Amino acid sequence: MIRQCFIIFGCLAFGELIVWLTGIAIPSSIIGMLLLAALLQMKAIKEEWVKGMSDFLISNMGFFFVPPGVALMLYLDIIKAEFVPIAVATVVSTILVLIVTGWTHQKLKR
Amino acid sequence: MELLQNNIILLTLTFGIFYAARQLQKWTGWIVLNPILLTIVSLILLLKVAGISYETYAHAGNFIEFWLKPAIVALGVPLYQHFGQIRRQFLPIFLSQLAGCIVGVASVVVIARLMGASRETIISLAPKSVTTPIAMEVCQTMGGIPSLTAAIVVSVGLFGAIFGFKVLEVWHIKNPYSQGLSIGTASHAVGTSRAMEKGDTYGAYASVGLILNGLLTALLAPLVLQILGI
């Protein structure tokens, strides 16, 4: 458990370090994700060294964003005021993403 | 209601409501009853009724929210697991992801701007297709409102999970790989869980879409916004 935490937090800390050093506009967690995948790929660490912790984190990922979602109560006014632009932009754009991604992949496959 | 301001009580309520909401979804099988959404709505109602400020709740909530960043790091494991599959089909996957990512960010921004949304709202909408932790981080980095993004991301996920496969079939996108990939790209984890129900192949490709679009959006969204002059 301690080793699992050390690896995952180590990757995250590396991301924080890169962001701090370069001021780059990429979340530290994304850099940590890439580092973790790279370390696994290079066999520098074994999958079972992080498996339990990573399964736990991924399967509960939805739950972790309940508190930031609750912060929505601070912005109810904005949503009420801009409900139509938000709803239309979101629905139309999501349909476009589905079609563009699926169509491009289907055409290019093989 | 002083007791309700206690961190342990607030955390217990959060765990309890989420558990109840998840059971409710299991029993009914209704994907609309998303436990994340239900828990957020119930907690907001409860806090409003009890007259507790968000700041008070956040003291407790921070203990949960803290795990978001490590959870994104953990996505490195499935990314590694799918690496062989992604490499074999690298070009079709990468190009369709790239197209989906740019269209997703650009279209939501352009439509929202045309309809008169404010700058903060537009930025908060930009990363709407990707999994919440990533979307919130991207939003924060660009100066939007992360909680607004969180709410929109959940709605987008629900939309994709409920209507995604219908939309794809209407447009004659029938290949299982393509379907899975675009569901994951457009509607992240909620869509991916729906794809998992349809079959392993759909699910595996949906998670590739979820991870890659998260990554591409983190890298490209600031650039797209800059080009569009936001």
ipTM of the complex: 0.89
- Predicted pLDDT of residue A110: 63
pTM: 0.81
pLDDT band for B64, please (50, 70, 90 cuts): very high
B101 or B82: which leads in pLDDT: B101
**Distances in Å between the alpha carbon of B159 and those of A53, A54, B23, B124?**
30, 27, 21, 18
Q: Can you say whether residue B144 is alpha, beta or left, with left for phi > 0 and alpha for psi between -120 and 50 degrees?
A: beta
A–B interface: beta-carbon pairs under 8 A: 311
* Cβ A63 vs Cβ B18: under 8 Å: yes
**Best residue in B13, B45, B72 for a mutation probing chain A (most A CBs within 10 Å):** B72
pLDDT in tens, A23-78: 876 778 888 988 999 999 999 999 999 999 998 998 887 788 788 888 888 888 88
> Looking at chain A, how many residues does it have?
110
Can you give the pLDDT at residue A53?
92
- Residue A12 reports pLDDT greater than 90: yes
CA–CA dist B125, A94 (Å, integer) = 11
Higher pLDDT, A89 or B205: A89
Q: Are B197 and B221 in contact (CB under 8 A)?
A: no
Give the mean pLDDT of B97-121. 94
Give the gap in angstroms from C-alpha B195 to the nearest C-alpha of chain A: 13
Q: How confident is the model at residue B108 (pLDDT cuts 50, 70, 90)?
A: very high
- Residues B170-178, mean pLDDT to the nearest whole number: 92
Among B35, B89, B169, which residue's Cα sits nearest to residue A103? B169
pLDDT attached to residue B15: 97
Which amino acid does the sequence have at B27? W
> Minimal Cα–Cα distance from A21 to chain B, Å?
16
- Top-confidence residue, B132 or A17: A17
Using a CB-CB cut-off of 8 Å, the residues of chain B touching A89 are 107-109, 111-112, 115, 117, 125
Mean pLDDT of chain B: 89
